[in-house]
Amino acid sequence: MARVVVDVMPKPEILDPQGQAALGAAGRLGFTGITEIRQGKHFEIEVDDTVDDATLEKIAEGFLANPVIEQWTITRVDA
Amino acid sequence: MSARIGVITFPGTLDDGDAARAVRYAGGEAVPLWHADEDLREVDAVVVPGGFSYGDYLRAGVIARFAPVMTPVIEAARAGMPVLGICNGFQILCEAGLLPGAMIRNQGLHFICRDQWLRVENTDTAWTSRYETGAEILIPMKNIDGCYVAEQSTLDELEGEGHVVFRYVGGNPNGSRNDIAGIRSENGRVVGLMPHPEHAIDALTGPSDDGLGMFFSAVDALVKA
């Protein structure tokens, strides 16, 4: 068994209206010095030993993320 | 023989009833298709209607794209069967790779619900042959994930090939690149748009009957076929 973390973020060139709204709100709340907020998704996946890296890549690219608008990283947290 | 046009219902679909009614108004036979169906019941075309399939969980349209019914839809669409994706249906067709690009959250984050003017840019499709190029039509739109985006090279190709089918007029409501409201596939058989033609088929209940032309166009295409 292993835990795998997949982080999905909007591509840098894709507008992120939710991150922008959070950035604006942070300023209104009085938090200074924040220059950028981008909002993404964080998946924690428990897998057994039959799930190899190629399968994880397929899950991320074909399902958890949309390659048109998002990029992702896959991290095995413990083996 | 009337054209058999399938209308898919996923868990969370909202507009299947109106889409089926629009098919009947245009003289077609509306055939209900269920997300778990593995065959298309011999339909000649398919409408993927709007709503919030699977609660829009994960990403709008992505879970529906993997529903059993989509396997034969994708196969038939690639072989030339007319498919219309409306709103969530457009998102599903993009996720399925039948149309390029994707929809993200509206710029400004508002759920936008209003009657929207569109310009018909391309009439050389199975769903827009009844319109005149440049015609302006008024149909409702209602969504929060309606901002169309694609890589610059994809946008250039859509524009260069004339594959933009509908464009917002009177201001861009949601930040969509190039004011794009709807696009078509290479072969013109698959069309997707965010606003809802099926809600504009009768002046009694909609802002116009401008949406009916899409369903008449499909019936024309099928009767000729």
Q: What is the ipTM of this complex?
A: 0.86
Kindly list the distances between the CA atom of residue B195 and the CA atoms of A22, B103, B112, B215, in Å, as whole numbers in the listed order.
Answer: 28, 13, 10, 14
Q: Residue A79 above 60 pLDDT?
A: no
Question: What's the pLDDT score for residue B106?
Answer: 95
Is B217 a residue whose pLDDT tops 80? yes
In A, which residues are within 8 Å of B107 by CB distance?
A: 15, 17
Predicted pLDDT at B112: 96
The CATH homologous superfamily of the domain defined by A1-75: Phosphoribosylformylglycinamidine synthase subunit PurS (3.30.1280.10)
Instruction: Tell me the DSSP string of chain B.
Output: ---EEEEEE-TTB--HHHHHHHHHHTTPEEEEEETT-SS-TT-SEEEE--B-GGGG-SSTTHHHHTSTTHHHHHHHHHTT--EEEETHHHHHHHHTTSSSSEEEPPTT-PPEEEEEEEEE----STTTTTSPTT-EEEEEEEESS-EEE--HHHHHHHHHHT-EEEEE-SS-SS--GGGEEEEE-TTS-EEEESS-GGG-S-TTTSS-STTHHHHHHHHHHHHH-
The residue extents of the domains of chain A are: 1-75
Taking only the tens place, the pLDDT of each residue in A9-59 is 999 989 899 999 999 999 999 999 999 999 999 999 999 999 999 999 999
Sequence-ordered alpha helix ranges (H) in chain A: 17-28, 53-59
* Chain centroid offset of residue B39 CA: 21
pTM > 0.90: yes or no: yes
Alpha carbon distance B71, B14 (integer Å): 21
Residues 148 to 187 of B: which have CB under 8 A from any A CB? Answer: 149-151, 175
Structure tokens at B152: 């610059």
Closest CA of chain A from B54, distance in Å: 14
Q: Are the beta carbons of A69 and B104 separated by less than 8 Å?
A: yes
B94 touches chain A (CB under 8 A): yes
- Per-residue pLDDT tens over the stretch A51-61: 999 999 999 99
Q: What is the mean pLDDT of chain B?
A: 97
| pLDDT confidence of residue B223 | 85
Coil, helix or strand at residue A63 = helix
Q: Is A14 helix (H, G, I), strand (E, B) or coil?
A: coil
User: Is pLDDT above 60 for B153?
Assistant: yes
C-alpha A73 chain-centroid distance: 7
